[in-house]
A and B are shown apart, each in its own frame.
Chain A
Amino acid sequence: MSAETLSRQDRQSATTRAVRSILASRETAIVLVILAIIAVATAMNQSFLFSGQGWRDLLLTPSILMVMAVGSAVVIITRNVDLSVGSTLAITAYMSGRLFVDLPGTPIIVVVLLGILVGAVLGLINGALVAFGKVPALVVTLGTMYIYRGAVLTWAGSDRINASDMPREFLGLGTMQIVSIPLLTIVAVLVLIVAGYWLASTRSGREMYAIGSDPEAAKLYGLPTTKRVITAFILGGALAGLAGVMYAARYGTVSASAGLGWEFQAIGAAVIGGVAIFGGSGTVWGAAFGAILLMTINRVLPIVGIPDFWQRAVVGALIIGAIVLDRYLSVRRHRKLQEARDDA
């Protein structure tokens, strides 16, 4: 076979492969499920989609979790996990309110940047402990989850930042819409696009996958494993920090219990979105769609008339279902490939 025909065949199969992989991808499946859920909800209650309020909530509600899920996805792809992001969110959310109270007139951009910076530093602490201390991420971040939460509890006590404590312009950002699309949603989508591009198309991004796929091989390849793992945690922390500022602007009230349990929602979103819990595969797009699915289901279940208890159970079932499905598909693929090899 000449090289020319070979490459033509390659190109042909590349196109069909692209089409097939889009049709078969987890991202597509989740988008379809989300659309179906929206259709059902809209059928039962027209205003779910076809009202200014409904449309806004549909886009606005998932945006903060999307930002966190993107960060969690990056960390999980490197075969780590960050349980402290919910506590990080609480710290930067409370700090944002505090800044407006204690230093009135602080420019909003400074508050936003400070939130990201503080989140990044908290992430750096996690990353350094994991990468240098060789302590499993699950243990490190379980510890810092409580420590960070403890810090904000000590700082805030029973105090609560109210909407009246924060400038109107800042709160306005939380509900502001540009061409009928909420600003927070635009922020979340921008984060998603940048993170998605980075992971898919740069060396450092691809190395994240490599490290998660096989840490030993990454060492043999001479990849800067330590640096990359720390980067993942810094990114996860920074995005949680940004999510905290978004939280303050969106809800207007911040107490020490802000974002309690969100770390699990973020991880759940990533897993539902096809990010393998042992690293190496999945996309931030999947994680973001997973976040949209989780938040939308939470809003739709009461409309459909499902009791509160079952709403949580549905989320749990989704997570387990996603993992079981992944496991089943990968075992089946592995077996098929091996049998094909034996027969050859």
Chain B
Amino acid sequence: MSLSESTPVLELAGVRKTFGSVTALADGSITVYSGSIHALVGENGAGKSTLIKIVAGLHRRDSGIFRFRGADAAFNSTAEAKNAGIAVIYQEPTLFPDLSVTENIFMGRQPRSRGGRIDKQAMQDEAAEIFARLGVNLDLNRPADGLSIADQQIIEIAKAISLDAHLLIMDEPTAALSGVEVERLFAVARSLRDEGRGIVFISHRFDEIFSLCDTITVMRDGSYVATTPTAETSNDELVTMMVGREVADLYPKTEAEIGEVVLEVENLKSAGTFADISFTVRAGEIVGLAGLVGAGRSEIVRAIFGVDSYDTGSVALNGSPVPKGRPSAAIRAGMALVPEDRRQQGLVVDASLARNIGAAIRRRLSRFGLITTSAENRAAAPWAGRLEVKTSALSMNAATMSGGNQQKVAIAKWLATDPSLLIIDEPTRGIDVGTKAEVHRLLSQLAGEGMAILMISSELPEVMGMADRILVVGEGRISAELDREEATAEKVMHAATARHEKNRQEAAA
């Protein structure tokens, strides 16, 4: 197949998108041809998802060139993109849990007979035909609620097929599929390619990329890095392009003395989300939880902290057991959790800085059940100073602060409780590079003072740069434990997908 003869179905060049002060996409460029399967690779946070959301009509670009089938395009809604012939299979399926599988495929464009009545038989038949083509046996009438991610993805794929799209974007469609299902999906993708459609395929698995795609575009830190035919590149070259910098420089990890075991988790299990979770965190140690988005990392720490309950297993802090399902008990025992979503879960954004910092120690601040602003200010001042939160007064609203400062306030709030274990979920998501380093320095310093830190991060360099030990989570299980010295991007990536490999081998056997 000669690429130069076919026309580009999608053309992006120098596309830029910012959210407030955060640049999500600095230079998004990709050219996808009809009859081609084009891989888009990069670390989490490299800007792939933003790029796709622009193509799908969820975001509007700030600047840059966006052409679809040769014509300039700017979609104001997903409906417009869809009508133009773009189908997107998202990383996390978005289905209607109450509606049937069939309805989920056809919602908004059900086949109709006379009088606008939905032709349920035709709808059913078409769904059955698509599933037969996919080789999937799924009950067409059951509600989507409770379906596995794999089955939900299948519905998403069926939806895209029924749309008869010119461009199919698959955002990590294989993340939760079994080996057989992946092979089936690839067969379908190839046949769609042979029909002359363009396909963008996003995946973290190099084996998949090399077996399926003909062209690869690499992104890093919101920018285009390179495009290369698959045949002319290698695993190692891709990793170098993706990571692209020396890890140690950015992450000022100082050596800390490792002390006693602080957190001990044994055989934690919660049906449907995770199982066999056992690990320890010692004083002065930073343990990184790495893995793909949706692997169950956040759920595990939520269970440890008591936000969610779990089925079996035990959690102990400083040698004494922590009762399950009770965050207040976890806090009393000495745990602190800085959640992933600062604005929604970590802060009261409409309240002052001092009130936010004082929030976790309200009981200690109150006298006769009353809390005064001056007591809050007194308690908050040392913390705000220490974290160099740049805000003129303690009375400033958290909502008006930058993402980096908000994160520091969220951390300060918990430090005020004097925890022995700090759990932090995606500490630097959505924070600009300068402030990132400050958050990292703070974590490093806290570890140096003997605090045990459990850090979830989807950014590989962050995990590898900050953590003394890395636990890789794949599909709700710990698939590898790597020491700082032995951890490489490849090893972590491999472990994050390892269970699939095992499943695949079992399926093949």
Please give the residue numbers on chain A whose beta carbons come within 8 Å of chain B beta carbons, in ascending order.
1, 3, 6-7, 10, 13-14, 17, 201-203, 206-207, 209-210, 212-214, 216-224, 276, 280-281, 333-335, 337-339, 341-342
Nearest A residue to B132 via CB reads A3
Q: Specify which of B107, B128, B145 is in contact with A206 (CB 8 Å cutoff).
A: B107
Which stretch, B74-82, B453-461, B487-495, touches the partner chain A?
Answer: B74-82
Smallest beta-carbon distance A212→chain B, Å: 8
Minimal Cβ-Cβ distance residue in A for B79: A222
**A209-B146 in contact (CB<8A):** no
Q: Is the CB of A203 within 8 A of B108?
A: yes
Interface 1/0s, chain B 261-283, versus A by CB < 8 A? 00000000001100100000000
Please indicate the chain B residues that have their CB under 8 angstroms from the CB of A216 in the complex: 94
- Bound-state CA distance A246–B231 (Å) is 76
Q: Which of A212, A218, A222, A339 has the most CB of B within 10 A?
A: A222
Using A7-B128, A223-B108, A333-B146 as known contacts, say yes or no to A214 and B97 having CB atoms under 8 A apart.
yes
Q: Is the CB of A203 within 8 A of B110?
A: yes
Chain-A contact segment, one of B111-119, B165-173, B245-253, B397-405: B111-119
A209 near B98 with CB under 8 A, answer yes
Q: Would you call A222 and B272 a contact (CB within 8 A)?
A: no
Chain B 61-78 residues near chain A, CB threshold 8 A: 77-78
CA–CA, A223 and B95, complex, Å = 13
- B118–A217 CB distance below 8 A: no
Residues of A within 8 A of B103 (CB): 206, 210
CA distance A243 to B107 in the complex (A): 32
Q: Quick one: given A222-B79, A337-B146, are A217 and B116 in contact (CB under 8 Å)?
A: no
The answer to whether A210 and B272 touch across the interface, beta carbons within 8 angstroms, is no
Q: State whether A201 touches B145 (Cβ < 8 A).
A: no
* Chain B residues in 8 Å Cβ range of A3: 132
B148 located at the interface, meaning its Cβ lies under 8 Å from any Cβ of chain A in the complex: yes
- Of A6, A202, A210, A276, which contacts B107 at CB under 8 A? A210
B455: min CB distance to chain A, Å = 28
A205 to chain B, nearest CB (A): 8
B116 is contacted by which of A1, A203, A210 (Cβ under 8 Å)? A203
Tell whether, in the assembled complex, residue A219 and residue B96 are in contact, meaning their CB atoms are under 8 Å apart. no
Contact B99 A213, beta carbon cutoff 8 Å: yes
Contact with B118, one of A1, A202, A334, A339 (Cβ below 8 angstroms)? A202
Does the CB pair B116–A220 fall under 8 Å? Answer: no
Name which of B58, B80, B83, B148 has the most chain A CB atoms within 10 A of its CB.
B148
- The distance in angstroms between the C-alpha atoms of A3 and B134, with both chains bound, is 12
Q: How far is the CA of A216 from the CA of B94 in the complex (A)?
A: 8
Is the CB–CB distance between A10 and B107 below 8 Å? no
Interface size, chain B (Cβ < 8 Å): 39
Q: How far, in angstroms, from A214 to B97 measured CA to CA in the complex?
A: 7
Specify which chain A residues have a CB less than 8 angstroms from the CB of B58 in the assembled complex.
Answer: 220
Partner of A202, one of B79, B80, B109, B116: B116
Contact B107 A221 (CB under 8 A): yes
The reply to whether the CB of B7 lies closer than 8 angstroms to some CB of chain A is no
Q: CA A217 – CA B78 in complex, angstroms?
A: 11
5 smallest CB-CB distances across A and B, nearest first, come from A222-B79, A337-B146, A338-B272, A280-B98, A213-B96
A222 to chain B, nearest CB (A): 3
Contacts of B107 in A (CB 8 A): 206-207, 210, 221, 223
Chain B residues near A338 (CB-CB < 8 A): 146, 271-272
A-B contact pairs, 29 of them (CB 8 A): A6-B132, A17-B141, A202-B118, A206-B103, A209-B96, A210-B108, A214-B95, A214-B96, A216-B94, A217-B94, A218-B96, A219-B78, A220-B94, A221-B107, A222-B57, A222-B77, A222-B78, A222-B81, A222-B83, A222-B108, A223-B79, A223-B108, A280-B99, A334-B146, A335-B271, A339-B272, A341-B148, A341-B272, A342-B275
**Chain B contact surface mostly:** loop
Whether the pair B118, A203 counts as a contact (CB closer than 8 A) is: yes
Report the minimal beta-carbon distance from B240 to chain A, rounded to whole angstroms.
Answer: 35
Given that A6-B137, A338-B146 are contacting pairs, would A206 and B110 also be in contact in the complex, using a CB cutoff of 8 Å?
Answer: yes
Question: In the complex, which residue of chain A has the Cβ closest to the Cβ of B476?
Answer: A342
Q: A201-B120, A207-B107 are in contact. List 20 more A-B contacts (CB 8 A).
A: A6-B128, A6-B132, A201-B117, A202-B116, A202-B118, A203-B108, A203-B116, A206-B99, A206-B107, A209-B99, A210-B103, A214-B96, A214-B97, A221-B94, A222-B80, A222-B82, A280-B96, A333-B146, A339-B271, A341-B272
Docked Cα-Cα span, A276 to B57, in Å, equals: 31
Identify the closest chain B residue to A280 (Cβ).
B98
A210 with B96: CB separation less than 8 A = yes
Per-residue A-contact encoding for B132-164, CB less than 8 Å = 1, 0 else:
100001011100011110000000000000000
Tell me, in angstroms, the Cα distance from A337 to B272 when the chains sit together. 9
**Across the two chains, which residue of chain A brings its CB closest to B97?**
A213
In the complex, what residues of B have CB within 8 A of residue A218's CB? 96
Give chain A residues whose Cβ lies under 8 Å from the Cβ of B108: 203, 207, 210, 221-223
Is residue B90 within 8 Å, beta carbon to beta carbon, of the partner chain?
A: yes
Kindly state the separation between the CA atoms of A6 and B138 in the bound complex, as whole angstroms.
11
Q: Which residues in B have their C-beta under 8 angstroms from that of A276? A: 98
Selected contact of A334 from candidates B57, B83, B110, B145, CB within 8 Å: B145
Q: How far is the CA of A202 from the CA of B120 in the complex (A)?
A: 10
Nearest chain A CB to B60's CB is how many angstroms away?
15
User: Hey, what's the 0/1 contact readout for B15-59 against A, CB within 8 Å counting as 1?
Assistant: 000000000000000000000000000000000000000000110
Q: Are A10 and B97 in contact, with the CB atoms below 8 A? A: no
Bound-complex Cα distance A203 to B145 (A): 21
Say whether A206 contacts B118, CB under 8 Å.
yes
Measured between beta carbons, the chain B residues less than 8 angstroms from A17 are 141
Chain B residues closer than 8 Å to A13, beta-carbon distance: 139
A10 and B110 CA atoms in complex are apart in Å by: 20
The smallest C-beta distance from A317 to any residue of chain B, in angstroms, reads 26
A14 nearest CB neighbor, chain B only: B141
Q: Report the bound CA distance from A17 to B58 in whole Å.
A: 39
Q: How far is the CA of A337 from the CA of B141 in the complex (A)?
A: 15
Give, as a whole number of angstroms, the nearest-CB distance from B134 to chain A. 13
Chain A residues closer than 8 Å to B116, beta-carbon distance:
202-203
Q: A276 to B145, alpha carbons, bound, how many Å?
A: 14
B79 vs chain A, min Cβ distance (A): 3
Central interface residue in B82, B116, B120, by most chain A CB within 10 Å:
B116
